[in-house]
Structure 1
Amino acid sequence: MDELSPQPILDGELLRAFAVFAEVRNFSHAAKQVGLSQPALFERVKRLADHVGAPLYEKDGRTLKLTPTGVRIAAFARDMLTRTGRLAGELKGETAESVTLAAGEGAYLYLLGPALSRFLATDRALLRVLTRGGPSAIEAVQSGEAHLAVGVFDLVPGGVVAKDLVRAPLCAAFSAQHPLARKRTVKLSDLAGERLILAPEGQRQRDLIGRAIASLGVPVAPPVEADGWPLMLAFAAAGLGVAVVNGICRPTWGAVLRPVPELGSVTYRLLMRRDAPRSEALERLVSLVQSTAGTASGAE
């Protein structure tokens, strides 16, 4: 190779192909989106991995997930496409921007509504929302799939900026006819012997509450399983048992919420990648989320 004309290590076409693959994690679906055959897309991703000298994805059971290097390359590729698209739009006199937000179901239902409504009512930018919680939301920010994420993040990885939004107590939820409804706060010992409504196996809420109740040293009945705050609240209101939910939840469906001080509280945070491209639309959405978070929730 001519040393005066070296081949670029990160070829633009390879990056564009990988950006699509990184989003869907499926070669067949990604190939259709970029207008390539599956073997052609696979070859481009392989060439990119060869250029950077590290694998970009790996198998995780029946699915594919990005490696740490893949996450970094995906973020770089998306940043490149964002800047290219923004420049092309400016040259054409177009100013439309897009912002992508990743958050869990609870954050959308009980925390982010006012901010999203105001943003959509006053901003011309396209708002894209991803339903992602916990580690998935963090990875969406790290890989550039999302510009920002909102949720309960106990550990914030390097290269990511975290802004605290609101702290919410953990609360017991039950029907209005339940004896605990007469209390202003609930003790952990009050939950001994109660039929608990818990998240599915492996979720953080189930592990946390399970350990706390186990510390009481009392027999625990098999829990009622419910995936998501709305279903937990509906089951609690119907009298199926007692749920423990984040304090941002509103007591809909007739459920009553009471803080359990011994369980502590959780902090909802807004995350952004430190070196990600910023836009006016992104800054406006961040400002709205920060200014409305406290009023949107039922947190104390």
Structure 2
Amino acid sequence: MDLGRLSTDALASFAVFAEHLNFTRAAEDLHISQPALHVKIRKLAETLGRPLYVRQGRRLRLTPEGEAVARFARDLDARVTAFLADVRGTSPARVPVLAAGEGAYLYLLGDVIRPGIRLINADRAGTLTAVRTGRADLGVAVLDVLPTDLQAVLLASYPQTLVMPEDHPLAARPTLTLADLAGSSLVVPPPTGPHRIALERALHAAEIPWSVAVEAEGWPLLLHFASLGVGLAVVNGCVTPPPGLVQREILDLPAVPYYAVHHPTRTNDPIREALLEEIQQALPPP
């Protein structure tokens, strides 16, 4: 490898591309043409001798090498910024960056959201990628399998609950089992979502007949349809139902664990540590 050809400009451009995974938006941010950005990234990949991204259908995904390059580029930019500030006698404060999904922000991290923290809204895969590439200091997500390349800290585990109108017959019971859902019409996420997949497996294993009332994306829409009487919804216990709905724990469904994840290179980072401590102190009780 000819390290003399490793362009810091190409690294900086790749970091922007890694944030968007879209050549059009990245080129706009960089104020260059798409062909120019393609050339920068192609030459960077040729210099490193590794593919930095792959195409999956209509979407782009970073390779593990691409994630490492993006993280290196961001770390390099942060070190240069700190060096220049030191030379100039200034002391810039790095803003902590948190990545999480809609549900975590709405029902788990509300007391943490404030000016001074940069937020990235992403699904589970996007949250892990943001941490791996250095975009985020910390990510919060539900994990059934812990990633081997990241450090994970269990924040809390919440039971799975059934949400229903307060006048529904099952609302009179303090707790429920899967058998109580027999014959129910459920408001569920799309088929490819991890929550939908896990719920379907549990119902199938218990041989519980059920039907789909409607498919909806995100806890707020699931709750909205439940409040309209379209069907019942199974949601994580940290989700707060609106007035008119009640939730009851489903005893034979496993608890849902929320983890905070960070890259090993951030283990001793005081900004990450302070953000994690703030989250732990603000969590709603299980």
Q: Tell me how far apart the structure 2 counterparts of residues 217 and 110 of structure 1 sit (CA, whole Å).
A: 31
Select which of 89, 96, 100 maps to 1:99.
96
Partner residue, 1:39: 35
CA distance in 1, matches of 2:75, 2:268: 10
CA distance in 2, matches of 1:78, 1:130: 16
Distance in 2 between residues matched to 1:153 and 1:166, nearest whole Å: 11
Residue 57 (structure 1) aligned with residue 53 (structure 2): yes
Q: Counterpart amino acid of 1:225?
A: E
Name structure 2 gaps, 5 residues minimum.
none
Give yes or no for the alignment of 1:229 onto 2:225: no
Please tell me whether the aligned partners of residues 159 and 255 of structure 2 are also in contact (alpha carbons under 8 angstroms): yes
- Mapped to 1, the partners of 2:222 and 2:183 lie a distance apart of 18
Pick one of 257, 261, 266 that aligns with 2:251.
261
What 5-or-longer segments of structure 1 have no aligned partner? 1-5, 121-125
Shift of 1:90: 3.8
The answer on 1:281 being equivalent to 2:271 is: yes
* 1:110 aligned partner: 107
Residues in 1 aligned to 2:77 and 2:172: alpha-carbon distance in whole angstroms: 57
Would you say the 8 A contact 2:162–2:248 is kept in 1? yes
- What is the CA distance between 1:28 and its match in structure 2? 2.7
Query: CA–CA distance in 1 between the matches of 2:60 and 2:13?
Result: 16
Q: Distance in 2 between matches of 1:95 and 1:7?
A: 30
Alignment root-mean-square deviation, CA: 1.9
Partner of 1:270: 260
Closer, same or farther in 2 for the Cα pair 1:277/1:28, shift >3 Å? farther
TM-score, normalization by structure 1: 0.88
Question: Is this contact kept in 1: 2:227–2:244, CA < 8 A?
Answer: yes
Q: Please state if 1:48 is matched with 2:48.
A: no
Alpha-carbon distance between aligned partners in 2 of 1:291 and 1:63, rounded to the nearest angstrom: 37
Output the CA distance in 2 between the equivalents of 1:192 and 1:10.
61
1:117-144 Cα distance to aligned partner (Å, 9 max, x none): 4xx4xxxxx4211111212211111111
Report the secondary structure of 1:144's partner residue: coil
Rounded to whole Å, the distance in 2 between the matches of 1:260 and 1:183 is 11
Residues 1:222 and 1:111: Cα distance change in structure 2 (over 3 Å)? closer
Q: TM-score, normalised by structure 2?
A: 0.92
Q: Is the 8 A contact 2:156 2:259 kept in 1?
A: yes
- 2:153 aligns to what? 163
Identity %: 37
- Please point out which of 233, 241, 248 is paired with 2:238: 248
Bigger mean CA deviation after superposition, 208-217 or 10-19: 208-217
Question: Which one-letter code corresponds to 2:60 in the other structure?
Answer: L
How many pairs does the alignment contain? Answer: 284
Give distance in 1, aligned partners of 2:11 and 2:189.
39
Matching residue of 2:68: 72
